[in-house]
Chain A
Amino acid sequence: MVNPIDRRVATALQSYTVLVVAALLIGAAVVPFAVGVTTPEQKRVAVVQVNELITDATSTDTVQRLRALRSDDSVVAVVLRVSSPGGFAAPSEAMYLAVRRLAEQKPVVTSVGQVATSGAYYAAVPSEAIYVTPGSNIGSVGVRGRVPTEGLSSQATTGPDKTVGLTRDRFHAKLESMKRAFVGAVMDERGDRLSVSRATVAEASVFGGARAVENGYADEIGGLEAAIAGAAAEAGVTDYEVRYYDPAQSALAALLNQSAGPGGSSGAAGVSSGAVAAALDDDETSVALDSYAGVDTVQFLMVYGVPEDTSGSYNTTAAAEVTA
């Protein structure tokens, strides 16, 4: 006596329908590999947009995209389309490292929109060329942060630095260390093109597009099209297609969701844009609402300008920040 299940399996295996479906699935799985070995790939120039305040979440998404583009043999060059005032310090440094790593393997060109300053400029400096328009703003090589307050914590702690983490002196030393790394990176990447001294770079000035080309902060006057063409020329291709990526979009959506409620959890994005304002704001209330899940930590920012506080409590007298 044959088991009914075995009989049904045997019947299915003998069915042409089942065989054809299985064959279709296997064939579809093999196609990508077959494409890779049988046909010459269409060369591509990837345009990666950096249009946001740089946070842990946005930089992670962008670095992930850059990593994928690095291993994609069809992508011969990458254009960073930057329109960002910068953001938090560590994510900006991560962006710089990712772009530098990418630039070691294929041409990277930056096209600046409205602004590429501070942390965003940090990300752009490893580029082969930086394209700007006269209205672009570029530069602001420096770090800023709210000087921590010292004193007796109202909470019980196991050590004197448990709440703030560092003394004011060590805060300034850390700020200076980060500045040196930033200025040093700019000098390493563009020192041969800069007509200004290291000390001038450290002044963290912002320059208009034309001036930036003149002093070496940028290379060419031109829009995105010119940057794409320049990137293709660097890669030595004339027949190519352009593919656009906006990797931080998902992270920004998460940020927008958070901004609906200032007291909400930071969630996957880690920290809200309001935290940037909070990091510069002396108003303790807004700090409690907008920083890391309500925890006020010492934040170092690589951002140009005064971020708007989403909670509307920005204090214009918040001058305790230090800009290097």
Chain B
Amino acid sequence: MSSGPLGDDGDGAALGDGGSSGSLGSGGGRTALVDVLKRVGVFALVVLVVVAGGTAVGGAPVSSAPTVSDVTVESFSGSESVVDVPPQEGELSMSADGDGKVIVIDTVHSGSVQRAALTPMVNTLTESGAEVRYRLGSRSGGGSLNESLAAADAYVVIGEGDPYTADELRGLDNFTRSGGRVLVVNEPSTGLGALSLLFGGVSRDTVTSPLSPAVSQAGLGFGSGYLYNVENYDLNYRSVYATPTGESPLTEGVDRAVVHASLPVTGDAVLTTTDGTTLSETRRSGAYGVVARSGNTTVVGDSSLFDQEFLYRADNEKLVGNLLDYLVSGEKRPADAPGTGSESESPFGA
């Protein structure tokens, strides 16, 4: 800085020079001291004015590091805060001999059945000596339903696919009257069950369930909505417990089963959900049937039972084993019933 309103280059030079040469006298030293004091005074005065002014008009509030105390959340760290996967034990097996029996799994009325999903069920049936056939439908080169039934001892349909024709319904009726076994397994809607992706493409948005006519002639049926229980459940509120209603070959050895997002079934239930189970559509709480049987027709409200994910929950493997026993235990007479179906006796008429 060469010069300024408050600057004094001459004094500065003199002070510097004097310090080094000692040529200045006592008068010069006092002048330098006064200059220093003046500068210190100006400095202190300005600081004081700024601080006082700033304080008067206010400033930013003082912040400091906040106290960080422990926040204890019981529900985060309590003994029940970490949920374990329930044990999955047991083996799927059959007690009945399936030798010579033919089981037809209908892929037409089951929608998009993927055979891999049925592996445990099919393997167990074949190990018992039964023959498992998949019905592809006439559009895939297969025969009619009645032709398939004529060669079958048991008929299985899982999920809702194409509706039945009147002729097919007559054939089914004749089939069961002749001793053929029918197992109808349903699901609430696409995506809710473990097999949802395997039986995709079906929906219960239709007014009439395609399976209803097939089972109603046996006095059975499916409700709408799905079952859940928010108080007593297996890992998820949609996985509810079900217990036998009494003595039945279908529930032999079953103390408690687990069904996942099951449809309620109507008819003579052999397995009902525990109290407190709620139906989604009505929000009514109670014990709902999930497996029911009438003669040679059995309905199950949950296809997840047959999937690996739920097969070994609770006593599910025993329940499924009993259902497989049921399939191979019928005695159809005549063996080729229902024949063509046109001559069969049926409440639907010819």
Contacts of B45 in A (CB 8 A): 23
On whether the beta carbons of B235 and A38 are closer than 8 Å, the reply is: no
On whether the beta carbons of B69 and A31 are closer than 8 Å, the reply is: no
Confirm or deny: B82 has a beta carbon within 8 angstroms of a beta carbon on chain A: yes
Partner of B63 from the list A24, A35, A71, A175 (CB cut-off 8 Å) is A71
Partner of A173 from the list B43, B83, B88, B231 (CB cut-off 8 Å) is B83
Digit string of B63-74 for contact with A (CB within 8 Å is 1, else 0)? 111111101011
Digit string of A1-24 for contact with B (CB within 8 Å is 1, else 0)? 010000110111011111110111
Given contacts A11-B9, A23-B46, A71-B64, contact A30 B1 (CB under 8 A): no
On whether the beta carbons of A202 and B230 are closer than 8 Å, the reply is: yes
On whether the beta carbons of A28 and B16 are closer than 8 Å, the reply is: no
Confirm or deny: A226 has a beta carbon within 8 angstroms of a beta carbon on chain B: no
The dominant DSSP class at the A interface is helix
**Cα of A172 to Cα of B7 in the assembled complex, Å:** 80
Confirm or deny: B39 has a beta carbon within 8 angstroms of a beta carbon on chain A: yes
On whether the beta carbons of A31 and B54 are closer than 8 Å, the reply is: yes
How many residues of chain B are within 8 Å of chain A by beta carbon?
A: 66
Contacts of B5 in A (CB 8 A): 16-17
Query: Nearest chain A CB to B262's CB is how many angstroms away?
Result: 15
On whether the beta carbons of B35 and A28 are closer than 8 Å, the reply is: no
Confirm or deny: B347 has a beta carbon within 8 angstroms of a beta carbon on chain A: no
On whether the beta carbons of B46 and A71 are closer than 8 Å, the reply is: no
On whether the beta carbons of A181 and B20 are closer than 8 Å, the reply is: no
Partner of A320 from the list B48, B61, B196 (CB cut-off 8 Å) is B196
**Cα of A104 to Cα of B69 in the assembled complex, Å:** 9
**Cα of A322 to Cα of B39 in the assembled complex, Å:** 76
Confirm or deny: A234 has a beta carbon within 8 angstroms of a beta carbon on chain B: no
How many residues of chain A are within 8 Å of chain B by beta carbon?
A: 71
Query: Nearest chain B CB to A184's CB is how many angstroms away?
Result: 2
**Cα of A163 to Cα of B60 in the assembled complex, Å:** 51
Contacts of A175 in B (CB 8 A): 236
Contacts of B82 in A (CB 8 A): 177
Confirm or deny: A70 has a beta carbon within 8 angstroms of a beta carbon on chain B: yes
Contacts of A105 in B (CB 8 A): 66-67
On whether the beta carbons of B62 and A11 are closer than 8 Å, the reply is: no
**Cα of A177 to Cα of B78 in the assembled complex, Å:** 11
Confirm or deny: B191 has a beta carbon within 8 angstroms of a beta carbon on chain A: yes
Contacts of A20 in B (CB 8 A): 6, 42-43, 46
Confirm or deny: B252 has a beta carbon within 8 angstroms of a beta carbon on chain A: no
On whether the beta carbons of A319 and B191 are closer than 8 Å, the reply is: yes
Contacts of B75 in A (CB 8 A): 180-185, 187-188
Given contacts A36-B62, A101-B69, A181-B76, contact A27 B54 (CB under 8 A): yes
Contacts of B11 in A (CB 8 A): 14
On whether the beta carbons of A17 and B6 are closer than 8 Å, the reply is: yes
Confirm or deny: A32 has a beta carbon within 8 angstroms of a beta carbon on chain B: yes
Given contacts A68-B63, A181-B75, contact A24 B50 (CB under 8 A): yes
Contacts of A22 in B (CB 8 A): 43
Query: Nearest chain A CB to B54's CB is how many angstroms away?
Result: 3
Confirm or deny: B4 has a beta carbon within 8 angstroms of a beta carbon on chain A: yes
Confirm or deny: B51 has a beta carbon within 8 angstroms of a beta carbon on chain A: yes
On whether the beta carbons of B51 and A27 are closer than 8 Å, the reply is: yes
Q: Can you report 14 residue pairs joining A to B where beta carbons are below 8 Å apart?
A: A11-B12, A15-B7, A26-B50, A30-B54, A34-B51, A34-B54, A35-B55, A35-B59, A71-B66, A167-B85, A177-B81, A177-B82, A180-B75, A188-B73
Further 10 A-B residue pairs, CB within 8 A, beyond A169-B309, A185-B73: A10-B16, A11-B7, A19-B46, A20-B42, A24-B46, A32-B61, A39-B58, A72-B63, A188-B73, A200-B230
